Amino acid sequence: MSAGIIGEPLTRVDGRLKVTGAAKYSAEFDFPNLAYAVLIQSTIPSGKVASMDTKEAERAPGVLAVMTPANAPKLAAPQGRITTLQDDKVHYNNQPIGVVVAESLHQAYYAASLVKVKYETTEAKLDFKAGFPTGYPGHHNEDPGDASWGDPDGAFRASEAKVEQIYTTPIQHHNPMEPHATIAQWDGDHLTLHDATQNISGEKGSMAKMFGIPDGNVHVISLFLGGGFGCKGSVWSHVPLAAMAAKQVNRPVKLVLERPQMFGPVGARPETYQQVSLGATREGKLTAIRHHVYTNTSFLEDYLESSAVPTRRMYACDNVSTMHRLVKLNTGTPTYMRAPGVATGTYALEVAMDELAYELKMDPLQLRLANYADVDPQTKLPFTEKSLRECYTRAAEKFGWAKRNHEPRSMRDGAQLIGWGMATETYPGNRLPASARVTFQPNGRVLVESGTHDIGTGMYTVLTQVTASELNISPDLVDARLGDTTLPIAPISAGSMSTASVTPAVQEAAQKARTALFNLAAGDAKSPVYGTSTDQLVLADGKIIKKSSPATGEKFADLLARNGNQPVVGLASVKPTEDKSKYSSQSFGAVFVEVTVDPQLGPVRVRRVVAVYDVGKVVNERLGRSQFIGGIVWGIGLALHEDTLVDWRNGRIANANLAEYHVPVNLDVPEIDVTAIDIPDTKLNPLGARGIGEIGITGTGAAIANAVYHATGKRVRDLPITPDKLLA
């Protein structure tokens, strides 16, 4: 292919490493004298550990240590949001209450089974709805939990058409293929962590505070991540516990969570109970929106699933009320899960919009077009870029929406009921400060480095492609390094913002490195371009040449060889330039779905999906398509499969495994047609790229639910949509 042109489908540069097994994930590093740790977890939801009999475990073969609240080392600054054996309190079932360290993993497991625990129990709060009267406000990052404008109550009462319904979503767990894994080792008061994390810099700072050591004494490495989806964005209990264990036994310690241990101690999407009221004129113009949300949090930390926040950005309406209330339960602390708040919130709002369309006897697409927001409905600011109308038009044409019969149960394929549904998709355009370094190396290659992460999205490839494009060289000559806190700092890989945040730093670092290279060449009497003004020099295929005389030039490696074989480096730290007081940044999309439903047995199958997105400039068409499809598959899971089943008598999760926690598999995933309109958003960043990773899940769940209603005439408002709910 040509030299790294932005948008081209460059194959993953780390693909060969992954398919050959050469890519090393956090649990795969080996060290001399490595010991193995296993968690001991609570079996009650509320109370305290009265005693732990560890004598038999300590005598078991290979055991090096048994850490409990009675003997665990004290941390300098324990974090209240996680449990690290600093006290004997139990806040939820499955909470870590001890750690066994042994010579082998099997010895650690066996010894952990020998520990006898006695509890003093207290009454647990496990009734979600019972907590509604005492629910309290929360906030999500920069978004306040409550925001309203106009007179939504009065406008709703006066509306000519109304929809008022309750929509619920269950607790859901991330379940990445790679479980959480940490290897901790100490060298004096220096801590090195190989950890499965989406936030190496954040983890570095948190661990330094907890152990009372300088930030510079903590080194975090995460070269590859086998999926995270938000659950690996925070420091959970197992990370400091691994470090505590390593310090106690004075050896490197590996702690890898079992699949059942992924349910509880490392976050989940919380349950939501969403009250949505829509009022409109007979012509379909929205006059009132109320979106009020109850969601659970833990007794350790407040986390808000901000489901009503996307409602503030979606449709033009003069009277809007959005509200969130938190309910404390004796469960593990919830956390960010792919498209947090937006996935669950767009489900409720977009199903309510479909219900309003039927109330008005109006095409669901026309209803959305009638309420198209040209500016941010909440802030009244223009968007940095918005082309949602084109998404609607393209997707509807490709899907064949005009052929849809509006009436439920009106379309069949033999005995199967056919349903068509659609929804709007959205996700914020985010960006944070980031740094990068680009180096011309004496070996004729270019190195790009940043302390960002590859969480499966293809960041190694993105950095390679942007560097190659900026320097006009082949991607084959570029190497990328990331996932290490010794590299220039970059933000957490979350919120679909890594590309938007890091690529401007890479571009500027490449420009600085190129300028330094040109200065070196222009000042080198032996260079063919000696004395040439740097603005008259360009790079082409690894050569420094004159614009006016393309035949005059030399390879940059030859230049460096004459100058002591020293690399030429460009380092850049870049902050967002968009003015949030002038613009709102948001991505949008339109998704259309066809489902089949067996009227006798109730199973729903998604038969095809067509979606078109407006996400700014797509840096790599191949990677972008994969991300869109991945999000849509998550939307299928949201609508039809995912449901964490909690025994609410004791807070124990009953399906804490991949056999019984259902996610979409190959047979559940249909033909998926995804495209992006590819209009750069240069107000957000110089490359014009917004994030892709999460928008695909938003709206997709609602589109499936709407298609199911169209097929069956039965409206299921409680996810997931399972056969029993359709046959009831």
Q: Is the pTM of this model over 0.95?
A: yes
Question: Which of 178, 425, 554, 694 is an active site residue?
Answer: 694
d(CA 265, CA 93): 9
d(CA 340, CA 693): 12
Q: Average pLDDT, stretch 216-233? A: 98
* 315, β-bridge pairs: 372
- pLDDT higher than threshold 60 for residue 259: yes
Residue 96: alpha-carbon gap to chain centroid: 25
Enter the DSSP assignment of 29.
-
Enter the DSSP assignment of 99.
E
With beta carbons less than 8 A apart as the criterion, state whether 692 and 675 touch: no
Structure tokens at 112: 């952990």
Q: Which residues contact 90 (CB under 8 A, 6 or more apart)?
A: 42, 44, 45, 46, 47, 48, 49, 97, 119
d(CA 488, CA 571): 8
The closest of 698, 700, 682, 701 to 690, measured between CA atoms, is 682
pLDDT of res. 1: 35
In degrees and rounded to multiples of 5, residue 155 shows phi and psi of -65, -35
CATH topology of domain 15-23+432-574: Aldehyde Oxidoreductase; domain 4 (3.30.365)
d(CA 159, CA 286): 9
The closest of 445, 473, 426, 708 to 591, measured between CA atoms, is 426
Where in 127-233 does DSSP place strands (E)? 139-140, 143-144, 147-149, 161-169, 181-187, 190-195, 218-221
Residue with tokens 């209450």: 97
With beta carbons less than 8 A apart as the criterion, state whether 518 and 534 touch: yes
Q: Which residues contact 126 (CB under 8 A, 6 or more apart)?
A: 45, 329, 330, 331, 646, 648, 649, 650, 651
Q: Average pLDDT, stretch 53-81? A: 97
With beta carbons less than 8 A apart as the criterion, state whether 351 and 704 touch: no
Q: Average pLDDT, stretch 113-119? A: 98
pLDDT of res. 291: 98
pLDDT of res. 2: 43
Say which amino acid occupies 356.
L
Domain residue spans in the chain? Answer: 15-23+432-574, 31-123+177-227+232-262, 272-430+581-727
Structure tokens at 699: 């709206």
Q: Average pLDDT, stretch 158-174? A: 98
Q: Average pLDDT, stretch 35-46? A: 98
The closest of 482, 338, 440 to 13, measured between CA atoms, is 482
d(CA 480, CA 466): 11
Dihedral sign of CA atoms 126, 346, 692, 669 in order: positive
CB atoms near residue 620 (< 10 Å): 26
- DSSP H or E segment with residue 423: strand 416-428
Confidence of residue 198 (pLDDT cuts 50, 70, 90): very high
Distances (CA, A) of 370 to 105, 317, 321, 524: 61, 11, 20, 65
Q: What is the pLDDT of residues 265-275, one digit of tens each?
A: 999 999 999 99
With beta carbons less than 8 A apart as the criterion, state whether 491 and 455 touch: no
Dihedral sign of CA atoms 7, 8, 13, 14 in order: positive
Angle between helices 700-712 and 342-360 (to 10 degrees): 30
Enter the DSSP assignment of 163.
E
With beta carbons less than 8 A apart as the criterion, state whether 245 and 72 touch: no
Enter the DSSP assignment of 232.
T
d(CA 184, CA 251): 9
Residue 405 CB burial class (10 angstroms; 0-12, 13-18, ≥19): exposed
d(CA 719, CA 263): 19
> Quick one: the chain helix, strand, coil %, rounded to 5?
30, 25, 45
* 653, β-bridge pairs: 646
CATH number of 272-430+581-727: 3.30.365.10
With beta carbons less than 8 A apart as the criterion, state whether 699 and 350 touch: yes
In degrees and rounded to multiples of 5, residue 522 shows phi and psi of -65, -25
Say which amino acid occupies 600.
Q
With beta carbons less than 8 A apart as the criterion, state whether 465 and 9 touch: no
d(CA 696, CA 590): 10
d(CA 162, CA 153): 12
Structure tokens at 137: 């406000």
With beta carbons less than 8 A apart as the criterion, state whether 635 and 76 touch: no
Structure tokens at 217: 């004494």
CA angle 700, 627, 257 (to 5 degrees): 95
Q: What is the pLDDT of residues 585-614, one digit of tens each?
A: 999 999 999 999 999 999 999 999 999 999
Given phi > 0 = left and psi -120 to 50 = alpha, else beta, which region is 94? left
Q: What is the pLDDT of residues 91-107, one digit of tens each?
A: 999 999 999 999 999 99
Q: Does residue 720 have a cis peptide bond before it, meaning omega lies within 30 degrees of 0?
A: yes
Dihedral sign of CA atoms 712, 718, 720, 723 in order: negative
**In whole angstroms, how large is the CA radius of gyration of the chain?**
27
pLDDT above 70 covers what percent of the chain? 99
Dihedral sign of CA atoms 383, 385, 391, 392 in order: positive
Q: Quick check: helix, strand or coil at residue 217? A: helix
Query: Strands 190-195, 218-221: parallel, antiparallel or unpaired by DSSP?
Result: parallel
pLDDT of res. 4: 58
CATH number of 31-123+177-227+232-262: 3.30.365.10
The closest of 95, 114, 104 to 37, measured between CA atoms, is 104
d(CA 58, CA 50): 19
Q: What is the pLDDT of residues 359-415, one digit of tens each?
A: 999 999 999 999 999 999 999 999 999 999 999 999 999 999 999 999 999 999 999
Q: What is the pLDDT of residues 425-475, one digit of tens each?
A: 999 999 999 999 999 999 999 999 999 999 999 999 999 999 999 999 999
- pLDDT higher than threshold 70 for residue 3: no
350 is catalytic: no
Q: What is the mean pLDDT of the chain?
A: 97
Q: What is the pLDDT of residues 276-311, one digit of tens each?
A: 999 999 999 999 999 999 999 999 999 999 999 999
Task: Give me the count of residues in the chain.
Answer: 728
CB atoms near residue 525 (< 10 Å): 7
Q: Which residues contact 188 (CB under 8 A, 6 or more apart)?
A: none
d(CA 465, CA 193): 29
Q: Which residues contact 344 (CB under 8 A, 6 or more apart)?
A: 169, 269, 272, 274, 305, 307, 638
**Identical fold between 15-23+432-574 and 272-430+581-727:** yes
Q: What is the pLDDT of residues 506-534, one digit of tens each?
A: 999 999 999 999 999 999 999 999 999 99
With beta carbons less than 8 A apart as the criterion, state whether 307 and 274 touch: yes
pLDDT above 90 covers what percent of the chain? 98
The closest of 119, 116, 124, 226 to 177, measured between CA atoms, is 226
Give long-range contacts, CB 8 A cutoff, 24+ apart: 459-462: 459/493, 459/498, 459/499, 459/502, 460/12, 460/13, 460/14, 461/10, 461/11, 461/12, 461/13, 461/14, 461/620, 461/623, 462/498, 462/499, 462/502, 462/503, 462/619, 462/620, 462/623
